[in-house]
Structure 1
Amino acid sequence: MRPVAHPPTPGWKAEGRETLRLAGPLALANLLQMLTYAIDVMFIARLGPDELAASALAVALFGLVLWSLQSLTGAVAPIIAAELGARGPALRPVRRATRMALWLAGIVSVAGMGVCMMIGPLMQLTGQEPHIAALASGYMDVLVWSAPLMIVAGVQRNFVAALGRPIFATVITALGIGVNALGNYAFIFGNLGAPEMGLPGAAVATFITSVAVAAMYAAAIRFDPRLHRYRIMGFFWRPDWSRFVEILRIGTPIAITVLAEAGVFGAAAFLMGRVGGLELAAHTVALNLAAFAFQVPFGVGQAATIRVGYFFGSRDPQGIARAGWMGVAMGTGFMVLTATAMIVAPEALLSLYIDPTDPANGQLIVIATGFLAIAAAFQLSDGVQAVAAGALRGLKDTRVPMWIAVFSYWVPGFGLAAGLGLGTPLAGKGVWIGLATGLTFAAVLLLWRWHRREDLGLTARGVK
């Protein structure tokens, strides 16, 4: 068999264009997804504080399960990218990998739904008020049916992005916002001829949105000639167990990493609650701002996974290096801008959530401004670790990065947050210093691993 001819390695400028072409739509889709959740909150808040609290508890569990399982099945992205780099268009290998990711999505959905349905006992275990727990359970009873469709849509999104069509993710997420808002308006309050369902109506809206999003991805894949040629539903009943195991092997550490990161931020909220209610409110607002900013380097990290994976498959060490470092530069550069904004104009950012002219909010703004000053340093580390982890995933390197994340977030990160937050006068600022320290450890260690990728043998399969 003759060797496959590959195009020359793109220069830095060309690589920048390619990374931006992928990262831009993916980052925008991430931001729009956060807006979808914000719209839910806006509608549910009109029902009252009990319904809002119940939905927050349910979404905390549902979101953690969903994010981790989407990360597990998302391991298909570097596999597709490597196949395209090795022998593009690689119709059969890409089809088989996507098929097995869809199989896995169906299987893990059942397990995820089972975990979500345990919300009642979890509410009792954590001492929630009975009427809040009852509302949360009723909401989850409907919401849980969205999980399989959302996990499948995650696989579809990875497929279209890896095949060079990330704009579909942006457009479909934007259209999903409209469907979700309309569904909330109709089913929560009984408008447009729909029954008035209250809080469960918000879950119905989410389910309808998940159906619409999965259907829109299916339509895009069917009618876009480049995507349709892969016929990912062809011979859908045929297993490819080696691919299935490969997705599990790469994806399981990613899912555990997600659980470790989400867990430490959840634990930080509990620490902040022990410090004081005002500090917890300020923490929530500041963390929301940080989470919005994070969606951009997160999108860059997703793009880096695909670009690095492509060059890994084509056995191009120079391409691997340029793709990874370009991603790190883009992600870090954006976070420099957000960090600067948090230092220079914290009140302007906080005004998105808090009325700065209301004297009752004065102390809250002072505390949140202090948190944002620490978050500025936190932003740089968060951006670096997100993109470095994404680049390493492109090399199918996920196990050691998982241990780096678990160690960084929970030993120096949570350890320092608990010690400074509860044992020193720093209080809430101590919690944030701990979070920033954990992210900095992760960023340094992951960046070191990326820098030493050849010495560690991570690119061995990709070297001629």
Structure 2
Amino acid sequence: MVQAMTLPQHIRAILFLGLPLIGGHLAQFAIGLTDTLMLGWYSVEALAAATLANTLFFVLFIMGAGFAWAVMPMVAQFHAKGDDVMIRRTTRMGIWLSLGFAVLVLPLLWFSAPLLRGLGQSDSLSAAAQSYLRIAGIGLIPALSVMALKSYLAALEHTRIVFWITAFAAILNALINYALIFGNWGAPEMGLLGAAVASAITNVIALLGVMVYISLRLPEHALFTRFWRPDTEVLTTVFRLGWPISLTNLAEVALFASSAIMMGWLGEVPLAAHGIVLQLATAAFMVHLGLSNVATVRAGNALGREDMAHLLRGAAAVGGLSVAMSLVTVSVFLFMPEVLVSAFIDPTDMRYGAILATGVSLLAMAALFQLVDGAQVVALGLLRGIQDTQVPMIMAAVAYWVIGVPISYLLGFTLGFGGPGVWLGLVLGLACAALLMVVRFALKMRALLQG
């Protein structure tokens, strides 16, 4: 009989598994952050176009990642049971579904200008965003494949390599950006398109790195041997678990995408400020997302061993770490807003003051939702670990689209509060999601403990 872990032991185990995952998420985020920083210094117009383009790209990326994230709890459960065959079958079909999704949505990226114009964006912004997406969009195929393989590695607790490969990709992206955006080191000055080329190249190299590591270090799973052979049974199982995750992801990321669209209605300066603050808020969110991934892996592992007491104590530990991180982030956002926002803006730009003032007000709103954003994503990770995805999908849709988006529009436009009003709607939507998800997990745990 395995001895029960104490709370400090749970925290140490979470940090051992989670810190590389958090680092990997932050390194992945750094790729987008590098684009924002360098394009912000290149021109406000390029930054606004990249904000719009990356919003659409991220909506599709995070939706497709649902199938990759479905791999994580399943592989964790099979790993606990020592079932290497099912680990291989599950991971392969997760990659199949990720690839299929990427191919299906590529036309949306290629012909994105009409879509963006239909959402109220200007002709010039829409055309620039489409030019970016016709290059960067190709990277969606390797990016989703990498997500599936990272989920596989995380479930097997090979988290350090996830960090190192992603960190290398982030550094490479920064170097290529520096060369191609500004025309340094003899490269052509491509501006916005240079960032798109850097993004596509980085995703391809990251995929090759992950594949090489798996082939060398985990040959027992033979993931890429006869990869083309279909496995209808497992494909269906992964799809059933993954599609609600995809739609839950879509509901949340579309909430932020809709906010970008609304900020675009207010003009280039509010949209640029929104892009900056969203980058800062996303950096903080990456920590909670890493903790959420740990929660999924450890919950799936505990479920495979049928150790519900372990699952519950682990949930309490990961929740406490998320709250502690939120308090740190709130303090930084409230006491250092000018320092954070100004780092993204060329001080010689005539719109510097307007962007800084708007960004500072939006960052105060971002500080408000740190606690609730962390709570909802960690609760979602725990629910995915016990393979409960359909009801959380419905909860997310209600919280984000019945509450969040309408209130954002009401406060931002009907009542005239502008950008801060739009962001306050985000806060209320996330708060509703957090409450629903936490209550759902508590009810599911009570049922499991009684069963």
Query: Contact conserved, 1:332 with 1:383, CA < 8 A, in 2?
Result: yes
The one of 305, 308, 319 equivalent to 2:299 is 308
Q: Using the aligned pairs only, state the percent identity.
A: 34
> Distance between the aligned counterparts of 1:325 and 1:76, measured in 2?
24
Shift of 1:112: 2.2
The CA deviation at 1:268 is 2.2
Give the 3-state SS of the residue equivalent to 1:74 in structure 2.
helix
- Label 1:237 to 1:279 Cα distance change in 2 as closer, same or farther (>3 A): closer
Matched, 1:212 2:205: yes
Q: Distance in 2 between matches of 1:8 and 1:408?
A: 40
The TM-score with structure 1 as length reference comes to: 0.87
The alpha-carbon deviation at position 190 of structure 1 amounts to: 6.0
Match of 2:54 in 1: 59
Asked if the contact 2:40/2:344 (under 8 Å) is kept, the reply is no
Residues 40 and 345 of structure 2 are in contact (CA less than 8 Å); yes or no, is this contact kept in structure 1? no
Q: Is residue 237 of structure 2 the alignment partner of residue 264 of structure 1?
A: no
Measured in 2, the distance between the counterparts of 1:12 and 1:216 equals 36
Q: Deviations over 1:174-201 (max 9, x none)?
A: 1112322333344556666766655444
Q: Deviation at 1:50?
A: 4.5
* CA 1:319–1:178: 2 relative to 1, 3 Å: same
**Structure 1 partner of 2:5:** 10
Paired position in structure 1 for 2:329? 338
1:357-377 deviation per Cα after TM superposition (whole angstroms, max 9, x unaligned): 999756655554444334333
Deviations 1:279-336 (A, max 9, x none): 5554443333222111101110011001101001111111111222222111111001
Long gaps (5+) in structure 1: 1-5
Structure 1 residue 275, shift from structure 2 partner: 5.6
Residue in 2 aligned with 1:182? 175
1:155 aligns with 148
Change (3 A) 1:287 1:205: closer
Q: Distance in 2 between matches of 1:285 and 1:186?
A: 22
Secondary structure at the residue paired with 2:369?
Answer: helix
Alpha-carbon distance, 1:59 to partner:
2.4
Q: Which whole-Å CA distance do the structure 2 matches of 1:219 and 1:431 have between them?
A: 45
Is 2:130 the partner of 1:119? no
User: Would you say the 8 A contact 1:188–1:202 is kept in 2?
Assistant: yes
**Counterpart residue number, 1:328:** 319
Cα distance in structure 2, aligned partners of 1:365 and 1:207 = 31
Q: Shift in Å at residue 354 of structure 1?
A: 5.5
Rg (Cα) greater in structure: 1
In the alignment, is the contact (CA less than 8 A) between 1:99 and 1:236 conserved in 2?
Answer: yes
Taking the TM superposition and a 5 Å limit, the aligned residue runs for 1:155-304 are: 155-188=148-181, 199-224=192-217, 227-274=218-265, 279-304=270-295
Structure 1 residue runs of 4 or more that deviate by more than 6 Å after TM superposition: 355-360
Q: Structure 1 counterpart of 2:319, which letter? A: V
Instruction: Write the distance in 2 (CA, Å) between the matches of 1:437 and 1:122.
Output: 28
What is the deviation of 1:214?
0.8
- Contact 2:114 / 2:126 at 8 angstroms: preserved in 1? no
Contact 2:41 2:345 in 1 (8 A): no
Aligned positions, number? 451
Q: Aligned AA for 1:41?
A: T
**SS of residue matched to 1:453:** helix
Is 1:96 equivalent to 2:86 in the alignment?
Answer: no
Task: Report the equivalent of 2:76.
Answer: 81
CA distance in 2, matches of 1:220, 1:119: 35
**Which residues of structure 2 form unaligned runs of 5+?**
none
Residue number in structure 1 paired with 2:397: 406
Matched, 1:394 2:385: yes
TM-score normalised per structure 2: 0.90
Q: Distance in 2 between matches of 1:139 and 1:276?
A: 20
2:24 alignment partner in structure 1? 29
Choose between structure 1 and 2: higher helix proportion.
Answer: 2
